[in-house]
A and B are shown apart, each in its own frame.
Chain A
Amino acid sequence: MRGTTRKVAVAAVSAVALLAAGCGGGDGDSSDSAAAGAEGGEITIRGCNPENTLVAGNTAETCGGDVLNVLISTLVHYDPESAEPSNDIAESIETDDNQNFTVKIKQGYMFHDGTEVKAKNFVDAWNYTAFGPNGQEGSYFMSVIEGAEEVGAEDSTTEEMSGLAVVDDYTFTIKTTEKVSNLPIRLGYTAFAPQPDSFFEDPEAFGKNPVGAGPYKFDSWTENQAIVVSKFADYAGEFGGNVDQITFRIFQDSGAAYSEVVAGNLDLTDDIPTSALIDNIYQSDLPDRNAAKATSYYGYIGINPEVDKDLSNPDVRRAISMAIDRQQIVDTVYNGTYTPATGWVSPVVDGYQADVCGESCVFDPEAAKAMLEEAGGFPGDKLTLSYNADSDHKAWTEATCNSIKNTLEIDCVATPLVDFSTFLTKLSDREMKGLFRSAWVMDYPSIENYLGPIYGKGAGSNYFDYDSDEFNSLLSQAAGAEDLEEANSLYQQAEQVLAQDFPTIPLWYGESKAGWSERVDNVVITPFGRPDLRVLTVSE
């Protein structure tokens, strides 16, 4: 819910695979046909309250995103098992220079209102999302397209990005601001969905009665109670659903939803409460009806040395890192399901390299003490590890602080801030001292997504004021690289710069879980961390 980042595709994939014309969704299809259960039936699953109306370009959280995922189709579809992208609406995405892309779309894709999906539906939708005065949350994702900056200004009068052009009904071109070798991978994200013409007449009303080109059409939305979608008869794509009707019953509390699944009144929840995770209780509550899967979630500790001078010495930060017994905390707090991090990039992405952090991310009390002593000791008298109290962060922050305290004899206190917005405001205002909890869930499946947006100079999530010439220059070299391999190798060098400078402390990589009733089958958790609702079947 609040503060949850939209989880987006995570795949070890090469963009080149997509560029071949006519490369259909062969892989994605296989899991469809593998479905054991029958088609049809109606199910009720856990949902939560969307933060905004259901507009693809204005949804950046999972509650609305889960519903939109079955309502819309995008150019590219991510495989539920591997998140490997394959063409969906796209017939082909071609480029010679990684900066000018030509997109051809398939004919015959229909919106739920009966109109056909055409090139202009993409271009208009993206322009709308990028246009500053519209204030759309997805505008960030348009920023790679040429002209997005001008269009995105708060008082902009230019409504169209110069980088987009409609060639004919089924072809359009994209020009990016700089070389973006992984652009095709990004195009499966919800914000890149096409919008029907009716959207632009009244976006507000549209959001309460959305129309997409996906396998399910919108039926009804009773505020705070339920959202209902049902199978779209004229769906033309290859990634259709099995179940006839899906009801998202809205829950405020994960515990309540879970209890309903155990009691057999709800068919699926992707949010297992802590009380059932401990000792894997959920596995005995729901025998053979649960699943877990490693996702792109990456937890780390942020530090801003400009704000807190006590932590300006990289060796002090390194010593703190070595004082954290990651395995013990993961075992106790996450019941062993998370994996201690060995670097700054999640292992599920393309370009991941193992063990960048080396000894600095391994618990070693003696070495930690020695390192701290060599660095001249900790100058302050108290260290805080701040977190937002509206999410489940208390247990691990307290355990982490205790680990630091017991090892280095620095008084470390896990400090809650009342909620995520307070937390974020304090970060933006550069008032956050000490250590603070941070996490990243990728937007698109590339090593670059773990580097540029977080540690690039002036980047939106660079709350650490990290500014390294070497790092920045490696990033821009990588963006202009000829092929993905070269790009990844440059990105990996950039990650090694992080290992030297130690701006943040890596902690662990995450895992998602789901539990379901006896009525459903074929539950697949995607690398996004969400159950894929299209392959789901009813077992009766």
Chain B
Amino acid sequence: MTETSRHVTDGEDVAPTDDSQRAMVDETLRAEGDIGEARSLTQDAWRQLRRSPLFWVSAAMITVFVLMAVAPSLFTSLDPAKGDLSRSRETPNAAAWFGRDLQGYDIFARCIYGARASILVGVFATLGTSVVGSVTGMLAGYFGGLADTLISRIGDIFFAIPLLLGAIVFLSSFRGDDPGYFQVVFQVVLVLVVFGWPSIMRLMRSSVLQIKPNDYVSAARALGASPVRILRSHVFPNAVAPVIVVSTINLGVYIAVEATLSFLGIGLIPPTISWGVMVSDGLPLLRASPHVLLFPAVFLSLAVLAFIMFGDAVRDAFDPKSR
């Protein structure tokens, strides 16, 4: 996709537009995220996860980051918005553990407070794409025909526009006056959802296509269950695993995308603090005061890494072929 790194993964969603063939490709590609019988597997997966150091390390890191986002004051008592120009670019010291940036802000406090925006963007963009993508994907896959064609083509329209390009145009167009904290965050989330849902939609659709011919679906239909009920109780639980796996990985990717958007000046804007904003502010200081760039970059990378590793561990656990 774009250089902001891909908002899809491992090709699970790169299914071609043709139906018959898409199924073939998907079958091969989705091997990684595949899951046959959800219930028994969940227990198996958990058993394997418990033994995976990768899982524990990433889960611990994620817990810390989420805690930072929810209650930053637990980690620091300093005010991240208190700029003291006379102490601009101070190197790390006892009072300011990570030093200070150009504006004389405490970098440690800002790294802590920056977690909120970055995690919010990641979590809500992931939730948004998963919900929109899953619903449309199920409808397309289950009902087929006109609904499928319509949804697939609309998905193609958004999918064909590179994420970064779409985001630039979109955010330039619709940024209102003096937006508040959550407005700013949700504009960015909205962009990521608008241009990100088709990949999940394709993934869900191909999962549903595989599940639809199964006996238990036919049986439910024969028993007169409504489509809503069938989708909710039978199709969704069996088709959702690959979506969960891919979404976890996407979460990390979205955090990195936010940083790139902020670098281009169209992502989050002050007074919102985010790692992306900090990194792009620190980049000009690369040579003069590298610590200003280093600390937020490390936080950003660790968070992205944690979510991607987490997703990866979960995927391995759910992959029946890897056992």
Contact = CB atoms under 8 A, between A and B. Distances in A.
B285 A413 contact: no
11 contacts: A274-B284, A275-B286, A278-B285, A325-B85, A399-B83, A399-B102, A402-B103, A403-B85, A416-B265, A416-B269, A418-B265
Given A333-B102, A416-B265, A328 B86 contact: yes
A433 B178 CA distance: 10
Contacts of A402: 83, 85, 103-104
B265 A389 contact: yes
B103 A395 contact: yes
B87 to A, nearest CB: 10
A327 to B, nearest CB: 10
Interface string B273-313: 00000000101111111000000000000000000000000
A414 B284 contact: no
Interface in A383-421: 384, 389-390, 394-395, 398-399, 402-403, 405-406, 413-416, 418-419
A399 to B, nearest CB: 6
B175 interface: yes
Interface string B173-195: 00101100000000000000000
A306 interface: no
B270 A278 contact: no
Contacts of B271: 413
Which among A325, A390, A399, A419 has the greatest number of chain B C-beta atoms within 10 A?
A399
A395 B102 contact: yes
A413 B270 contact: yes
A395 to B, nearest CB: 6
B114 to A, nearest CB: 15
B61 interface: no
Given A278-B284, A389-B266, A416-B269, 14 more contacts: A273-B284, A274-B284, A275-B286, A329-B85, A332-B104, A395-B103, A402-B85, A405-B83, A414-B270, A416-B265, A418-B172, A418-B175, A418-B266, A433-B178
Given A333-B102, A418-B175, A281 B83 contact: no
A275 B287 contact: yes
A329 B266 CA distance: 25
A416 B270 CA distance: 8
B171 interface: yes
A113 interface: no
Contacts of A329: 85
A377 B287 CA distance: 43
Interface of A: 273-276, 278-279, 281, 325, 328-329, 332-333, 384, 389-390, 394-395, 398-399, 402-403, 405-406, 413-416, 418-419, 431, 433
A332 B175 contact: no
A415 B86 contact: no
A281 B265 contact: no
A328 B172 contact: no
Given A332-B102, A394-B281, A413-B271, A399 B85 contact: yes
A278 B83 CA distance: 19
Contact of A390 (B104, B265, B283, B286): B265
- Most central of B83, B85, B271, B288 by chain A CB within 10 Å: B85
A160 B86 CA distance: 59
Interface of B: 82-86, 88, 102-104, 171-172, 175, 177-178, 265-266, 269-271, 281, 283-289
A275 B281 contact: no
A44 B182 CA distance: 48
Nearest to B289: A278
A415 B270 contact: yes
A275 B284 contact: yes
A398 B284 contact: no
Q: Name B's interface SS.
A: loop
Given A406-B83, A419-B172, A281 B281 contact: no
A456 B255 CA distance: 49
Contacts of B288: 275, 278-279, 281
Contacts of A390: 265
A274 B284 CA distance: 6
Contacts of A273: 284
Contacts of B287: 275-276, 278, 281
A431 B177 contact: yes
Contacts of B178: 384, 415, 433
A100 to B, nearest CB: 50
B102 to A, nearest CB: 6
A192 B288 CA distance: 44
Contacts of A333: 102
A414 B269 CA distance: 9
Nearest to A386: B178
A74 B265 CA distance: 40
A399 B281 CA distance: 13
Contacts of A332: 85, 88, 102, 104
A310 to B, nearest CB: 14
A337 to B, nearest CB: 15
Nearest to A432: B177
Contacts of B265: 389-390, 416, 418
Contacts of B104: 332, 402
3 closest A-B pairs by beta carbon, nearest first, are A402-B83, A275-B284, A278-B288
Nearest to B179: A415
Nearest to B175: A418
Given A333-B102, A413-B270, A418-B265, A328 B283 contact: no
Contacts of A281: 287-288
A406 B103 CA distance: 13
A389 B263 CA distance: 11
A401 to B, nearest CB: 8
B172 to A, nearest CB: 5
A398 B175 contact: no
Contacts of A325: 85
Nearest to B177: A431
A1 to B, nearest CB: 14
A332 B83 CA distance: 12
B91 to A, nearest CB: 13
A62 B283 CA distance: 27
A413 B286 CA distance: 26
B269 A415 contact: yes
B85 A328 contact: yes
Nearest to A403: B85
A419 B168 CA distance: 12
A433 B270 CA distance: 17
A396 to B, nearest CB: 10
Contacts of B281: 394-395
A414 B286 CA distance: 23
B90 to A, nearest CB: 12
Contacts of A416: 265, 269-270
